[in-house]
Structure 1
Amino acid sequence: MPLQITGALGDPDLIRLPWETPLADWPQQYLVDLPRGISRHVVRFARLSGKVYAIKEISERYAKREYQLLWDLARLDAPAVAPVAYVTGREDDLDAALITRHLQYSLPYRAVMSGTLRPDTLNRLLDALAVLLVRLHLNGFYWGDCSLSNTLFRRDAGAFAAYLVDAETGEMHPMISEGQRLGDIDVAHTNIFGEMLDLEAGGLLHPSIDPMDTAEDIVTRYHRLWDEITQSEIIEEVDWHRVEQRIRRLNLLGFDVAEMMVRRKVGTGRLIVRPKVVDAGHHQRRLLRLTGLDVEENQARRLLNDLDGFRVAKGLRHEEEAIVAHRWLAEVFQPTVAAIPAELRGKLEPAQLFHEILDHRWYLSERAGADVGLAAAVTSYVENVLVHKPDERALLPEEPGELPPPPDEPDKPGELAPPPEEPARQGR
């Protein structure tokens, strides 16, 4: 059987990789060293035309299956790595290979947790994993092997966003059953407990973090979020403001209510309200629609807060939202990012840079007792914060074997604690 690459190939050079050689023996000239989680399969990262691909050696059956599952998740806009292709017909009966696009600015849990992980940061990681599980289950996806090893974490403003990176054991259904859902959570509990014990044994876990408590905590967070999204709520007919409150709570959790199912309870004057269709990314979609910026959900929420503050500061309350957004983009966001020196601009994504500058402005303004303005905040942030940050863009070390360091926590001593979310200050 001749060599065959099936998929949406964006780079013709993929065919020129040494597929006749076992992945473990590929020459270093094709590879780039990046942090990766524990895997039962051989995984390598290849750099081609400035892009990075993750390549996993796996049997042909599972390569085809996982490729299809990742495409199904992509069509549902679920948080997962993007499939590129799968390779079959390799020489000497070598296993097939699955190719996915490496997720920039992401890190496996070991790179995030090793050494300096504090309990507050762990809470944000667990929240991100709970949201990922809920989103997958709402889409009818049974993971079958949920673990920290099969997840990538990416900065999302002051929190983290989690992405599925391994769908080998997954199943896609029109709707996930209660047994499948609870079974998935039980697997997650077992896997996470084992991974935390492994970190503890290796001296990589903060002494205040208990492996069993952590595993049980993720289950508790998942059930709390799932119940908030799916449970029915009985209300009086005249008490419709509670429906609005429910929607607002879901929005704050990162979900949007696309449809509400309302039915009258027999023999009473009360209604039962249940969100029927929910989707993630309420703020993300609004920002994308208004500005074209495609960012993470918490980043979008923060940028929209600043946009709304700009609207008030400029006296544009009665102007169309799209016009205000265009002005904010041209007068605030783009000039702020452009003010960062070119050699430092690649350390963080533009949206994360802007978010951290807003945090820095808040901090300086609180200390000064008055708004210091955006220009002064940019200068101070560059000189006192950004120059000391590691490069989080997982693009590629200059020398083979050189690994990018794990990111600093946003609220370590010497950096800035994130302020409470509030409308941006007037005056720029």
Structure 2
Amino acid sequence: MRMQFASTTDPAELLSLPWSLPLEQWPADRLVTLPRGISRHVVRFVRVSGTVYAIKELPKQTAEREYRMLRELAKREVPVVKARGVVFDRTTDDGRPLDAALVTKHLRFSLPYRALFSRRLEPELTSKLLDALAQLLVRLHLAGFAWKDCSLSNTLFRRDAGALAAYLVDAETGELHDQLSDGQRAQDLEIASVNIAGELYDLEAGGLLDEAIDPAEVADDIVRRYEMLWNELTREEILGPDELWRIEQRLQRLSELGFDATEIQIVDDPKGRRVKFQTQVVEAGHHQRRLYQLTGLRVEENQARRLLQDLDTFRATAVMPGVDVDEETVARHWLTDVFEPVIEQIPPELRGKLEPAEIFHEVLEHRWFMSEAAGHDIGMDAATRSYIENVLRFRPDEQAVLGTPAEEFAESLKGRSP
């Protein structure tokens, strides 16, 4: 047996797994029960030294190719699951050959589409899910990746300050190019439309889909959302002689969508100045980086944006006018005086509901609505207590890992600055 692991993974933690058994025969005491989507391969989840891994059994060449593909996509700042290793040349104790095994790190607090739809978490879920998938597909295409199997089943979703963030899970059929042609993008869109319609019809047949949702309309909608976003990122504009200010406006719009312009081409012709933007995903998430540098919190991009807004509000209200206090000091006080007190109030039995950053975001939203109704600011303590008793207590658990909720909750805060 040959094991190949990323440098950030400790192979010793995984040596104890029963690699000489087919995944279907792994003992239940080594497995973790998680919601998962449909897969053409056998997939199992295991917990090793506090970390949960997804293990997929597939042919050797396919496993090695997907491992390399996921690693390369991660380098290109595309949201994908983290490939941790691949195990080759597996055999049973009596010498029978087994398929290879791809090891990825489980994406905490993520859910497959079937779990989201079957639990009917909220009325606007479909729209948020389609926006997330459209943006993921655009990001992949800008990175030169032709997915060739875009589907809801091959995607995981995490909450991101009220929206959803989509992550690619399955890359075994994909191809990387310097740049995709219009034909390659159109093929991906056609595959996505067919797959999504089929997946939703399957849910409908099982009685898991809201009657108001039309699978065919949803499949067409994902194409429409993709094309709108792609056009916003790549379209050419004609500017008049006094309209150069529109370049700054366009750059701001791209930034709000989570993208950046790596090159701007301006060509003069009789009709005016033609401006074309070469766009890419903003490197590593600007707001994520800033929040982590200030607080040590690792969260999604929209969550980071929301928490930074609250931090800025805290700075404006807590620091006396004219007093110069560095940003790091303010962030430390915000963390200990605002963020942590909210999280610490969450009872242990409710800590599997949502990840901490999403809870904090929802408390801020709850505070705003309560304050508007009361006609004055009710404060974070009252908002947190009300949120826990009237909202969080009735939310379905979104913590994907079964086990001790308090341990998993604490895990999400690791890496914070002291």
Greater mean deviation of Cα atoms: 281-290 or 369-378? 281-290
Gap change, CA 1:269 and 1:94, over 3 Å in 2: closer
The Cα of 1:346 is off from its aligned counterpart by 4.6
SS at match of 1:16: coil
Query: 1:28 Cα shift?
Result: 0.7
1:377-419 per-residue CA deviation (whole Å, 9 max, x = no partner) reads: 1122223222333332222247xxxxxxxxxxxxxxxxxxxxx
2:367 aligns to what? 361
Q: Per-residue CA shift, 1:304-350, capped at 9, x if unaligned?
A: 22122223223567755444434323332233323334453453222
> Does residue 364 of structure 2 align to residue 327 of structure 1?
no
Q: Deviations over 1:246-303 (max 9, x none)?
A: 12222332x1324341313234653524244442634333333433322112212211
- Alignment partner of 1:297 is 2:301: yes
Question: Is 2:312 aligned against 1:314?
Answer: no
| Overall identity of the aligned pairs, in % | 55
Give the stretch that moved more between structures: 224-233 or 59-68: 224-233
Q: Counterpart in 2 of 1:5?
A: 3
Using the alignment, how far apart are the partners of 2:379 and 2:37 within structure 1? 42
TM (norm. structure 1) is 0.86
For normalisation by structure 2, the TM-score amounts to 0.88
Q: Which amino acid aligns with 1:265?
A: D
Q: Which residue of 2 aligns with 1:107?
A: 111
Q: Is the 8 A contact 2:239 2:272 kept in 1?
A: no
1:177 to 165, 177, 181: 181
| Cα 1:115/1:204, change in 2 over 3 Å | farther
Q: How does 1:185-196 map to 2 (within 5 A)?
A: 185-196=189-200
Q: Which amino acid aligns with 1:284?
A: Q
Q: Secondary structure at the match of 2:148?
A: coil
Q: Which residue of 1 aligns with 2:32?
A: 32
Question: For the Cα contact (< 8 Å) 1:143–1:184, is it kept in 2?
Answer: yes
Q: Do the aligned partners of residues 10 and 206 (structure 1) sit closer, same or farther apart at CA in structure 2, a change above 3 Å counting? A: same
For 2:292, the equivalent position in structure 1 comes to 288
Q: Deviations over 1:230-260 (max 9, x none)?
A: 112222243233222212222332x132434
Q: Which amino acid aligns with 2:3?
A: I
* 172-181 or 365-374: bigger deviation: 172-181
1:336 matched residue in structure 2: 342
Distance 1:200 1:316 in 2: 58
Change beyond 3 A, Cα 1:284–1:233: farther
Between the aligned partners of 2:395 and 2:280, the Cα distance in structure 1 is 41
Instruction: Classify 1:108/1:317 alpha carbon distance in 2 versus 1 (closer, same or farther; 3 Å).
Output: farther
Whole-angstrom CA distance in 1 between matches of 2:181 and 2:267? 26
Deviations 1:81-107 (A, max 9, x none): 111111111111111111111111011
| Alignment match, 2:245 | 241
CA contact (8 A) 1:237 1:271 kept: no
**Could you say if the C-alpha distance between residues 326 and 176 of structure 1 is closer, same or farther in structure 2, counting changes exceeding 3 Å?**
farther
Pair 1:32–1:171, CA change in 2 (3 A) = same
Q: CA deviation at 1:370?
A: 0.6
Give the letter for the 1:14 counterpart: L
CA distance in 2, matches of 1:269, 1:95: 60
2:135 corresponds in structure 1 to 131
- Structure 1 runs of 4+ aligned residues shifted over 6 Å read none
Aligned residue type for 2:331: A
Partner of 1:200: 204
Q: Tell whether the 8 Å contact from 1:33 to 1:397 is kept in structure 2 after alignment.
A: no
- What is the SS of the residue equivalent to 2:399? coil
Q: 1:225 aligns with which of 219, 229, 239?
A: 229
1:348 and 2:354 aligned = yes
1:365 and 1:119, CA in 2 relative to 1: closer, same or farther beyond 3 A? closer
How far off is 1:125 after superposition? 0.4
Q: Which residue in the other structure is 1:263 paired with?
A: 266
Residue of structure 2 in register with 1:406 after alignment: none
**Map of 2:407 onto structure 1:** none
1:10 Cα deviation after fit: 2.2
The number of residue pairs the alignment matches comes to: 395
Cα distance, 1:31–1:135 mapped onto 2, change above 3 Å: same
1:239–1:79 CA distance, 2 compared to 1 (3 A): same
Residue ranges of structure 2 left out of the alignment (5+ in a row) = 405-418
Identify if the C-alpha distance between structure 1 residues 16 and 125 changes in structure 2 by more than 3 Å, giving closer, same or farther.
same
